[in-house]
Amino acid sequence: GTERERNAAVSFEVTRQGELAKVPSVVLASRDGSTPAPDANPRAHALGFHDPPLVVAMEDGWPLADGTAIVARDGALSRIELSTGRVVERVAEAFPQASARCHAFPLGPDKKGLGFACGERGNGAGSTVVYRYQSGKMLPLASFDTPRVVLPSGSGTFAVRGGCARGAPAPHRYCVYAEKGLRDIDVQGEVDHERLIALGDGRVAIVSPPHGKLQDARVTVLAQGGMKTLGLAFPRLRSDTFRVLEQGLWLEGFEERRPGVLGGWIEHRGVVLGIEIALTGQVTLGDILNDAGSFALGGRYGFRWAGSRRGFETTDGGIKWTQVELPDPVPGRETSRVCGPLGCMGQGWLRLGWGDAPKENVVLPPPPRIGMTSSPAIHLHCSAVGDNKKTEDASEGAPAFFSVPAPKVRSDERAVWFDIYDGGDRYSRTAPVGRVYGWGPKSSEWDLGASGVTRWLSPFEDSAQARSTKVGAIPKTLRDIVRPRTSGGSMAGNGGNFFLGFGDDKDHALLALRTYQNGRAETLLFALETNRPPVELRRLDGEPFTDFESATRMNGQWFASFGTPAESTLFAFEGASARVVARFPRVAGPGIGRTTPRLARSDDERRLGYVLDGQSASGATAPDRWIFPVLVESGRILDPENFGPTDLSGIKGITACGDTRPSGYVVDAPISATVDFSGSGGRAGSMYNTQARLHLGRDAACVERLTGTLDTQAIAALGDHSLAAKNPPPKGAGTLPVVGTAHGERRAMRCAMESPSSP
C-alpha cells in the first residue's frame, strides 16, 4: 500500500503470532550501480512497474518452485520473491510488446509449461499475442492485430475469441490451439453467450447456458468424427439454486478441471455458484454462500469476504468452501479484487497462498535454476521498397490474395476459399501464405461445373510477388473438401488443415492438405507451379502420406518429410511419384521438445539436412540446432552436426550474405534473436515471429533473407519514411532483403545489417 501524505510504497507482514510489522523498503541498484534516493517514487524506478511488485505478481504472475513468481509485462520478464516482494531478476526487451500486460496460464499436454496472453495497452486498439515461455524465452504461438479475449482451458491449451485471422474478430468464431497448431471453430445455430473450452485431448466442448429456461442448457462436444449434444442433467434443486442457474450469468472462463469434467462459475445478484459439467451431461453443483459481501474468482480459485473478520476460500471451483479468519478491511484501500494460484487480493490486503499457514518451517531442496538471459540483437538500417498498395476485393464475398484480385464470380455462382499456412510456421500462424479458391453454379451441378485456382506467396516475398496456378477444374480428390456446405451464397472454409512448403524459388510450392480417413490422419499432396494446373503427388506403394512436416526443393526436385508418433519419413519426388529416401525414429528426451522437424539443403545441393532443435550441448538456455546429413542417392544418414544455439548466440561475426557464404546448409527457420530497426530518430521499432533464410556453417553463418511481423512502432516508422536511415549504417555492413507483415500486407525493405550483439 502507500502511506498517507507520502508518495511512497510501504509493506507490512503479519507474523505467526498475529502481529503487524512494517517491512523495510527494498532498494534495487540500477544497471550503472547507482541507487535511487530513499524518497524516490518506486513507481518510476528501473523495475518499470506502476504498482508494487507483489500486486503485479498477484494480478498476472505464476508461482515457481523456488518461492518466486514470474511476471511478463511491458516487454520485460521479472521474477518476484514472494516472501519479501523483491524483484530478484529482470530481463528487459524479452518480447517485443513494450506496452503490454500479460496474464500467465498453464500450457502444454502435462500442464507443466507456461503461457502468457499479452495485450498491448493504449488507444484501445493494441495487438494480442499468446506466448509460450520456454527456457527463459518468450516464443509466440498466436498473434492478432486487435484486442482479443484469450480463454485458457485449464488443461494446457487455449482458445481465442474471434478466429485465427489476424484482423478484426468474427462473431461466434474461435481460434483453438493444440500441439498440432491452430484451427478455426465456428459455432453455428441458435447460440448466444456460448462458453467454448478447448479440451486436453484435442476435442472442443461448448456449454450453452439456459437463457431463461433451464431445460435448454446443454453441452456439445466437437471431434473429428462429428459432434454430440446433450442436455444437462441437474440434481434435485432448491429454489434459490434453481433461480441462480436459470436467471444468472454463466461467466466467461469455463475450464476443463480434470479429464472429461468442465468447471465454471454462475453469478446472480451477488451470489456465486460453482458448477461442474461432465461430458455425459451430468451436473455437480457447489455450495451457495448467502452471506453478504464481495467476492473474487479466478479459474478454480475463489474468495468471499463476508464481514466480521470472516472469509471463505475455495480451490476446487466452488464445490467446497472453507471458512478463514481475516483482518479488518483497510479503509479506502479497495482498488481491485483478484484471485489466482498465488492467493487473493482485496479489501486492502494481499493474502498469499491457500489453506492454513504451515505449522513449522519446511526446508525444500533448491529447484533447478532456469536462465533468463536475453537473446542477441540484430540491428537493421532499412528503407522501404515499392509502394505495397493493397488490392481491393474484385469479387463480392471472396477476398483478394495480397496483390492478386479474387476470381470473378457470376451472380448464378457461389464461391468457397480456404486460407493456407506455412508448414514450418503452423504454431504462430503469423499470416496465410496461400489461398485455395473454388467457384461454380449454385445449382446441384456444382461439382460438374466448378473451377478452382490456388495462389501462394513465399514468406520471404512482398505482396506484389504473389503467384497463381492456372484456372481449371478442381482435382477430383479435392472436390469433396471444397464443396460448399450451404445451400447458396459464398463461404470461407476452415484453413486449419492446409499447409504450404516452399523451395528455392517463388514459382513453385507444395500444397499439403491434412484429412482424416478411417480414423487416421492422411495428407493429400499437390505440386504447384505458376500458370500451370496443380499436380497430385502419390507414393509408389499406394499408401497415403501421413502428417506433413517440411519440404524443400533442390536441383528442380521436391523433397518432403511426413511424420507419425513413431518416426519421420523423407520422400523424394520424381514426376508425380514419391519414393522413400530415409526414415528417422522420433526422438524423445530432455530438451527435444515438440518442434516440427525441418529440411535443409546443402549449399552444393548434393545432400539434404534433417533439422531438429534440441538440447543445448553447452547448457545455454536456447536449444541447439542439430542437422542430420542425408545422402539422397543412397539414403544413408550421417552423424548429426551441431550448428549452435537457435538464437545465433554461439556464432561470431554473423552477417548478411554476400558473394562469399559459409560452407554448410541453407535452411528456412525461425530465429529467437531480437530484430530492431534503426531509423532517422534512433530506434524505430522491432520485428517478431521472425524467420530467416540462413546459410549455416560449423563456425560461421549469414542471413540471406528475413521476414516477420512489424510492431506498431515499426509500422508507423515505415509509413512516415523514418525507417530510411539518415544516419548511415556502420561501415562494412552487408545488405539483405527484408519483408515485414503489417495490417495483412507484406512490406518490402532493403536493409543494412549489423551483426548480433548481446543487449
**Residues sharing a CB contact under 8 Å with residue 388, sequence separation 6 or more, in sequence order:** 462, 463, 464, 745, 746, 747, 748
The length of the chain is: 759
* Residue ranges of the chain with per-residue pLDDT less than 70: 1-50, 122-125, 189-192, 290-293, 307-308, 332-335, 356-376, 387-397, 423-430, 444, 485-496, 517-520, 586-595, 615-621, 650-653, 679-683, 719-733, 755-759
Residues in a beta bridge with 757: 377
When computed from its CA atoms, the radius of gyration of the chain, rounded to whole angstroms, is: 28
Dig out the grid coordinates for 287 from the structure. Answer: 455450495
What are the CA-CA distances from residue 39 to residues 8, 24, 45, 322, 553 (Å)? Answer: 7, 13, 11, 42, 64
SS3 117: strand
User: How many C-beta neighbours within 10 Å does residue 200 have?
Assistant: 20
Predicted local confidence at residue 479, as pLDDT: 75
Question: Of 461, 495, 460, which Cα lies nearest the Cα of 670?
Answer: 460
537: left (phi over 0), alpha (psi -120 to 50) or beta: beta
Dig out the grid coordinates for 750 from the structure. Answer: 532493403
**What is the Cα–Cα distance from 639 to 518, expressed in whole angstroms?**
38
Predicted local confidence at residue 144, as pLDDT: 92
pTM of the complete model: 0.54
Q: How wide is the angle at C-alpha 179 spanned by C-alphas 174 and 183, nearest 5°?
A: 25
**Residues sharing a CB contact under 8 Å with residue 192, sequence separation 6 or more, in sequence order:** 211
Q: How wide is the angle at C-alpha 228 spanned by C-alphas 223 and 233, nearest 5°?
A: 130
Cβ distance 710 to 690 under 8 Å?
no
Cβ distance 496 to 488 under 8 Å?
no
SS3 328: coil
**Residues sharing a CB contact under 8 Å with residue 256, sequence separation 6 or more, in sequence order:** 153, 154, 155, 197, 199, 200, 205, 262, 263
Residues in a beta bridge with 602: 665
Predicted local confidence at residue 719, as pLDDT: 64
Sequence letter at residue 131 = Y
**Can you give the residue ranges of every domain in the chain?**
377-753
**What is the Cα–Cα distance from 620 to 640, expressed in whole angstroms?**
19
Cβ distance 158 to 114 under 8 Å?
no
User: How many C-beta neighbours within 10 Å does residue 727 have?
Assistant: 10
Predicted local confidence at residue 532, as pLDDT: 95
- At 529, phi and psi to the nearest 5? -145, 140
Instruction: Give the β-pairing of 520-529 and 535-539.
Output: antiparallel
Q: Which long-range contacts (CB under 8 A, 24 or more apart) does 625-633 make?
A: 625/669, 625/696, 627/600, 627/665, 627/667, 627/696, 628/584, 629/602, 630/570, 630/581, 630/582, 631/607, 632/559, 632/572, 632/581, 632/606, 632/607, 632/608
